[in-house]
Every structure is written in C-alpha cells, then in structure tokens.
Amino acid sequence: MSSYKTIKPLLMIVVFSILYGCGSAHVKTDIQSQNIGSYRNILIQDVRVYSNEQAAKSNAPLQEKLKRWESYSRTQLEQYVNGSKYTLINSLDEAEGNTLLVDLDVNVQYGNRALRWVVGFGAGKGGVDSVLTVKDSETGEVMYKANADSDLSMGGAGGDIGDVLEENIKELIKQYSDA
C-alpha cells in the first residue's frame, strides 16, 4: 500500500506531462474592421499554409502536413460562413449583392521538437503566424484584418505544432465572428 502512495504522485506527473504535450498557443490578435454588416456574400479566395524553413521545403512528410493544414483551414472558414448570416459563394458570378473576399495566409515554423523536448525554455521554438484579410469585392478596400501569432516553445513530447495551428485558426475565425 505505501508503495502505491509513493508511485501515485509520480504517475500523476507523468500523465500531466503527456497531456500537456501539445504545448500552448498564445494567440495575439490585431484587428482592424470597417462596417461589414451590409455584406451578404463571402468568397473564400486564397488559403495558403506554408513554411519558410529550409528543412520543410525538402521534407515530403512536412509538405503533406502543410497540405492537410491548408485543407483544415479552408474547411474551418467554410464552416464559419455556412453557420453565419453570409452566403458562401464559389465565384463572383454567383454574387447577388455585396461580397467580401477572404484571404488567409498561414506561416508555420516547425522549430525543433527534439530541442523543445530535451532543453525546453524556448529552445527549438515553433510557431504559427496567420493573417485573415477581408476585402470589398468592388473597391478592393480592406474591410477587416486580423493577425494571430501563436508559439510553441515547450510541451511534453516536444509539443505538437498541428495543435497550435488548429487553435490559431479557430481563434482567428472567432475574432472575426466577434467583430
């Protein structure tokens, strides 16, 4: 019985470390908005998810992740529009009334998971920087813009940049819906 009481706290620490493995995302937003209440349609134009890191450019598994994250990001935008007052259109030819053009630009910095695991304290830091830009289709005027900057600097098992990206995109879309 006494060995169980000794092992239990250690087991709890191990479980906590594993659950904390996704690291934490710190989302900071910078929002500029204009009156967007009169618009009826949204056309999602470009959704770009990429990494400027040299290692990512030549790594097929990482490139595949970027494609999946791009699909995830577009799906999140589409789900928001479908659940909102707006009508999602596929081209300007479908537009009846005012239309907002949406672009999402997501830069992923993988960092070094091994360094985050072994060293911690910011070593091997990864991150996700995203910018959501919404323009008027007729004038090209920016009607709304938000930036989200999330970082992954620690976490059990080195953290998961995919979880950080998902949280970043959800927060960015939430900021739009709150505007």
Q: Could you tell me how far CA 12 lies from the centroid of its own chain?
A: 30
Domain boundaries, the chain: 2-178
Alpha helices, DSSP H, located in 28-85: 54-57, 60-82
Of residues 57 and 159, more confidence is placed in 57
Report long-range pairs for 1-7 (Cβ below 8 Å, ≥24 apart).
none
Strands (DSSP E) contained in the chain are 29-33, 41-50, 87-89, 99-109, 126-136, 142-152
Q: Which two tokens stand for residue 150?
A: 């999330």
Longest dimension (CA), the chain: 74
Residue-wise pLDDT for 54-95, tens only, equals 877 888 988 999 999 999 999 999 999 999 999 999 998 888
Residue-wise pLDDT for 119-130, tens only, equals 555 555 678 899
Fold (topology level) of 2-178: Double Stranded RNA Binding Domain (3.30.160)
State how far the Cα of 148 lies from the Cα of 41, in Å rounded to an integer.
24
Residue-wise pLDDT for 2-61, tens only, equals 565 666 665 555 554 444 444 445 555 667 777 788 899 999 999 999 998 887 788 898
Per the CB < 8 A criterion, the answer to whether 47 and 140 are in contact is no
